[in-house]
Structure 1
Amino acid sequence: MCGIVGYLGEKNTKEILLEGLKELEYRGYDSAGIAVLQEGEFSNYKAVGKLKNLEEKTKDFITDKFAVGIGHTRWATHGKPTELNAHPHLGESSYVVHNGIIENYAKLKEDLIGNGIKFLSQTDTEVIIHQFEKNLKTEADEFKAFSKTISELEGAYATLIVTKSLPDTIFFAKHGSPMLVGINDENEKFFASSDSPLIGHAKEVNYFEDGDYGYVTKNEIKIFDAQGKERQVNFIPLKVDKLSAQKDGYRFFMEKEIYEQSDVISDTLLGRLSDDEIIFEELDTKLFDGINEIKLCACGTSYHSALSASYMFERYSKVRCSVEIASEFRYRQPIMNKDTLFVVISQSGETADTLETLKMAKKAGLKTLVICNVDNSSMVREANASILTRAGIEKGVASTKAFATQVTVFWMLSLYVAKLKNSMNTQELKHQINLLREIPLSVKVTDEMHERIKRLSKRYLHGHGFFFIGRDIFYPLALEGALKLKEISYLHAEGYPSGEMKHGPIALADPELFTIALLPQHLLYEKSKSNVEELSARDSTICAISALEFDKADDFIQINQCKDYMLEFFEMMIVVQLLSLEVSIRLGNDVDMPRNLAKSVTVE
């Protein structure tokens, strides 16, 4: 959510900034803007809505000399999505862009207003630039004014400032929100919230640590830590394939990413399966010494993968497992025992609530592990150990392949722990490993399957809601199916355990209530079937997903016959993803950038 780009160099600054913002569109935004300082003068453009509106506004703006520029895509937190609230924000002679939330902005704003400063926006960000310019009047130079300003801010932020008095400088600071700087052989400098805007421009990148601040000029990069001590720049090669960030003929990135799941799961499994054991070279087995409980903590889709994992850890590893919603866990004063392995899950590795729970666990002395898709992310750097899911760039806001690879990693990890704890015999372990090898085939999307779901989707565009229901590990999948549908179609959907319907929700059953029933052949089929029959008897419209035909269903989506319920899990995952996709497309929605949502949630 929210995206930052910055550039210092002699090329087409406007185009570099706009291209960078386009690469950050997947994070979610409702307005965008750029500010360019060229030959001592600022040019500033803002627009509400899609980036094409900003492109239209800047079509006659030319940048062909040395310039410094900053850009931003905003996801509204303080103040509505308007041009005045869009970044960059202006002071008397400076501009700022900012991701995160300044928690003490109200107090700073009150003091600034008392000093005669007039605010144009409703945002927390605007206080940063006015505070900076206030400090310019009392400090010896611009960098000291910037340093003092950063020390006065509370909350989470990644921020860039440019000012007229230093036309070849960009000031930066990072605390809690992601940001990196890149360089190339031409000594150009690039800033961004993630790798993708830098691909094709920067050759090497430095990922900032929390508390880092400093400045870049034509000739130098200066980084200071939270204590004000200068530290070495740590450049590493930027190795990302830009082709993976293109649609390749698919209608939406989400559709492409559903189809990619077979390949990325193969990558997730690569080098981690032998005939009779799971191999995680990145893990030290001592991580599990003295561990009697695994606590999983995440948000959104990652929370659903964690719920799925809890069934596998207790069933296969025989280790007590609990699952926490990160935004709740942070504030409830939880009991944290040192015999607990604390595992956080995040696609981006930057999710604010989850990152803070990780810091809490470390402070409490717990061993920590992160399951993540992004190397060098904040969580990967913070945790004792990490497992990368290898899902590649995921640009659709509604996560698909991240969920699939997370569940795959957890299946492997539960077997890895099972071997360490001697809780599974060798024959069963070999059987489970052979099942893992079959996942890539299970998630291949066939034309026949997709066409069936596309045709069926036209029957599910109205009504007063959806129930996705499943038992056991299919309950988290029901939650995930409901989340996918509500995220991109804006239709009301809820996930429930099948057996819970009779404890209240069944009161809603009627022909306009659509029930998406997950009926695995190899796990509690008869019990789940009975629950669906209860809904059918009350005239709910039933769409059954199963390998076995169900005569009480109004619609039936048949999956392949599978050897095990876990393979059924992955086949049904594909079905609910495609169903959500096709319903949303029929409703005319922007599948990749649903309203009000952001890809990387870096605020509370």
Structure 2
Amino acid sequence: GIIENFQELRAAAAENGAVFTTDTDTEVIAHLINWELDEGNDPVVAVQHALKRLEGAFALAIIFRDHDNLMIAARQGSPLAIGFGDGEMYLGSDAIALAPFTDRIVYLEDGDWAVITRDGVAIRDGEGREVERPVQNSVASSLLVDKGNHRHFMAKEIHEQPEVVSHTLANLIDFAARRVQLPELPFDLAKMDRLSISACGTAYYAGLVAKYWFERYARMPVEIDVASEFRYREVPMAPGGLALFVSQSGETADTLACLRYCRGEGQHIASIVNVRESSIARESDAVLPTLAGPEIGVASTKAFTCQLAVLACLAIAAGRARGHLSAEQESELVGALIGVPRHMSSLLHGEKAYEELAHALSKASDVLYLGRGLSYPVALEGALKLKEISYIHAEGYAAGELKHGPIALIDETMPVVVAAPRDALFEKTVSNMQEVAARGGRIILLSDAPPGETGCEVMASFRMPAVHPFVTPLIYAVPMQLIAYHTAVFMGTDVDQPRNLAKSVTVE
């Protein structure tokens, strides 16, 4: 975590004779506890006193020399779970971390701290009162936290997408009736004047796709924000609106802070998470889970496409409730969603071609991604994937913005990845491609149209299945992932754990 007042605490500890061996804020905590022990307090009291002096967001596990049957845990802002074994106890960030050892989990709440021995746990709240927190049976399975026959977790998770997207859709769709069937919601979508979406990283791009869907098919105005910006904007919100939060882990600190702000503004709270026991899920009025299973690779893949699947179903349900989608139109859109897993599988069978592209792409120092309409968020996500795991600088742009700056970067060394489904905006995207080609840019085309239709010479072309425009983001996400993955593998980076990144950003 982050101890926000560590400079002040460090100075005070140094005055008391503490000698620091690192520059980390974490070391301050150990010195505070040690000072309390030197004052004659036992470990439990020492920790209690030290915690009262800490400001920030953190999850702590504290052990003591000469107390081998004692561990003290504390949570403020960052997630922390206690696992129950047979004559043994565990501490971890979430159920997935504990899955190889136990499925009996207690989640600490903000301000909680716990005294743990091999025989059990005593939990206290921030005031020091003993409290009971429910023991839950976690659905996380240690069998899923395995690479199988794949070289990396990310590769496994890319290939799991047809299956997990199918499971997610089956949870929300009546396949026989070709109709979206959501669980009962504690609010009426027909009466919502507008929708506010907050998320971070890849989840934000999923929300950006959803903005297009809700506005086009449900005629519902949507405001979408990066959570780290929204929480500080003091947004005026009319009570009774709908706020939607998207997070793989359900513990993203900025997204959780936005949720609490919107709760205070009288909004209905809905969330899309991959961990049902998470903080965001527990604090929501309605939870629509993604059934992606544990996602271990830091760069999100299957969680992203499952988020899109849930958001697509929610947009269809909103369109129906608000009278903007007929039964026939809903059936058409649902039918397109039902076909997504099959199209994903066919794309994965052509993976070899992406390996070949990776050799050429690895030599680039910069890569530009372009898309229009629904393909614009896909371009943003493609660029994020490449920079996350290959460390190649990449930027995603709306193709129509090319002339407003990015075109200055294009020369014969610049690869440009273009997502260009043959939709209503195809001709305009082709026009942008021709501008790139005229300046020597090396085009990598993702389209259901053959390269000849664009009139451009391309560096590489990947033929996409011809699908309803509604589902193109789910389909085009797969080649974006494969391009990034194989480029990173060829360059020898740590694909599953890229430098400086964490799977779940639980601090600000």
Structure 1, unaligned stretches of length 5 or more? 1-99
The SS at the match of 2:2 is strand
Aligned residue number for residue 141 of structure 1: 42
- Alignment map for 1:33-72 (pairs within 5 Å): none
Q: Which residue of 2 aligns with 1:209?
A: 109
Task: Give the match for residue 323 of structure 1.
Answer: 224
Q: Please state if 1:455 is matched with 2:359.
A: no
In the TM superposition, 1:438-449 aligns within 5 A as 438-446=339-347, 449=350
- Evaluate the alpha carbon distance shift between residue 291 and residue 466 of structure 1 in structure 2; reply closer, same or farther with a 3 A threshold: same
Q: Distance in 2 between matches of 1:386 and 1:414?
A: 15
Moved more, 473-482 or 455-464: 455-464
Task: Please list every run of 5 or more consecutive structure 2 residues that lacks an aligned counterpart in the other structure.
Answer: none
Distance 1:336 1:154 in 2: 29
Amino acid at match of 2:462: Q
The alpha-carbon deviation at position 124 of structure 1 amounts to: 0.7
Looking at structure 2, the residues matched to 463 and 437 of structure 1 have their Cα atoms a distance apart, in angstroms, of 37
Contact 2:243 2:267 in 1 (8 A): yes
Query: 1:353, CA displacement in angstroms?
Result: 1.2
Alpha-carbon offset, residue 340 of structure 1: 2.6
Seen in structure 2, the aligned counterparts of structure 1 residues 445 and 159 have a Cα distance that, compared at 3 Å, is farther
- CA shift, 1:137, in A, is 4.1
- Taking the aligned partners of 1:265 and 1:448, their CA distance within structure 2 comes to 17
Q: Whole-Å Cα distance in 1 between the matches of residues 21 and 330 of structure 2?
A: 63
Measured after TM superposition, the shift of residue 243 of structure 1 is 2.2
Offset at 1:313? 0.7
Q: Equivalent residue for 1:70?
A: none
Contact 1:205 1:235 in 2 (8 A): yes
For 1:200 and 1:251, the matched residues in 2 are separated by 20
1:63 maps to none
Q: 2:180 aligns with which of 278, 282, 287?
A: 278
Distance in 2 (alpha carbons) for counterparts of 1:239 and 1:306: 26
SS at match of 1:443: helix
Judge conservation of contact 2:104–2:135 (CA < 8 Å) in 1: yes
Secondary structure at 2:445's aligned position in 1?
strand
The 8 Å contact of residues 420 and 429 in structure 2, kept in 1 or not, is answered as yes
Instruction: Tell me the secondary structure at the aligned position of residue 245 of structure 1.
Output: coil
**Given the alignment, which residue of 485, 498, 503 partners 2:386?**
485
The answer to whether the 8 Å contact 1:458/1:583 transfers is yes
Bigger mean CA deviation after superposition, 195-204 or 312-321:
195-204
Deviations 1:210-235 (A, max 9, x none): 11112012333111122332112421
Q: Does 1:418 align with 2:319?
A: yes
TM-score, normalised to structure 1, is: 0.80
Q: Give the 5 Å matches for 1:21-36.
A: none
Moved more, 235-244 or 539-548: 235-244
Q: 2:155 aligns with which of 230, 233, 255?
A: 255
Find the residue that maps to 1:303 and give its secondary structure: helix
Counterparts of 1:499 and 1:505 in 2: how far apart (Å)?
10
Contact 1:259 1:445 in 2 (8 A): no
1:167–1:560: structure 2 CA closer, same or farther, 3 Å change rule?
closer
Partner of residue 489 from structure 2, selected from 567, 585, 588: 585
- For the pair 1:554 / 2:455, whether they are aligned, the reply is no
Distance 1:218 1:449 in 2: 51
Which of 280, 284, 306 aligns to 1:379? It is 280
Counterpart residue type for residue 122 of structure 1: D
Equivalent residues of 1:277, 1:419 under 8 A apart:
no
Q: Is the 8 A contact 1:442 1:570 kept in 2?
A: no
How far apart are residue 522 of structure 1 and its match?
2.2
Task: Give, in angstroms, the shift of residue 276 of structure 1.
Answer: 4.9
Contact 1:542-1:555 within 8 A present in 2 as well: yes
How far off its partner does 1:472 sit?
0.5
Distance in 1 of aligned mates of 2:11 and 2:122: 32
Matched, 1:521 2:422: yes
Answer with 522-531 or 337-346: which moved more: 337-346
Shift of residue 181 of structure 1?
Answer: 0.7
What corresponds to 1:303 in structure 2?
204
SS of residue paired to 1:152: coil
SS in 2 for 1:571: helix
Contact 1:301 1:399 in 2 (8 A): yes
Aligned counterparts, 1:171-210, within 5 A: 171-184=72-85, 186-210=86-110
**For the structure 1 residues 518 and 219, does the alpha-carbon distance in structure 2 shift closer, same or farther, using more than 3 Å as the test?**
closer
The answer on whether the counterparts of 1:309 and 1:411 sit within 8 Å (CA) in structure 2 is yes
Tell me by how many angstroms 1:139 deviates: 6.5
- Equivalent position amino acid for 2:392 in 1: L
Deviations, residues 38-79 of structure 1 (Å, cap 9, x unaligned)? xxxxxxxxxxxxxxxxxxxxxxxxxxxxxxxxxxxxxxxxxx
**1:91-114 deviation line (CA, Å, top 9, x unaligned):** xxxxxxxxx111111111111111
In structure 2, relative to structure 1, the CA distance for the partners of 1:225 and 1:503 (3 Å cut) is same
Q: Distance in 2 between matches of 1:311 and 1:603?
A: 30
For the 8 Å contact 2:206–2:377, the answer to whether it is kept is: yes
SS of alignment partner, residue 143 of structure 2: helix
Q: Give 2:117's aligned amino acid.
A: T
Cα shift at 1:386 = 1.1
Say which SS state the counterpart of residue 468 (structure 1) adopts. strand
TM-score by structure 2 length?
0.95
The residue correspondences of 1:112-151 to structure 2 (distance < 5 A) are 112-138=13-39, 141-151=42-52
Question: Which residue identity lines up with residue 439 of structure 1 in the other structure?
Answer: V
Opposite residue 322 of structure 1, the aligned amino acid is E
Tell me the number of residue pairs that the alignment of Structure 1 and Structure 2 aligns.
503
CA contact (8 A) 2:354 2:482 kept: yes
Indicate if the aligned counterparts of 1:179 and 1:191 stay in contact, CA closer than 8 A.
yes
Structure 1 residues 156-204: Cα deviation after superposition (integer angstroms, max 9, x where no partner): 01101122353321111111111111112x2211111122332232241
Q: What SS does the corresponding residue of 1:144 show, helix, strand or coil?
A: helix
**Contact in 2 for aligned 1:550/1:556 (Cα 8 Å):** no
Structure 1's 199 and 527: CA in aligned 2 closer, same or farther, altered over 3 A?
same
For 1:474 and 1:450, the matched residues in 2 are separated by 21
Superposition RMSD on alpha carbons, in Å? 1.7
How far apart are residue 289 of structure 1 and its match? Answer: 6.5
User: What's the % identity of the aligned pairs?
Assistant: 35
**Other structure's SS at 1:297 match:** strand
Once residues 262 and 586 of structure 1 are traced to their aligned partners in structure 2, the CA distance between those partners, rounded to angstroms, is 25
- Compared CA separation, residues 553 and 341, structure 1 to 2 (3 A): farther
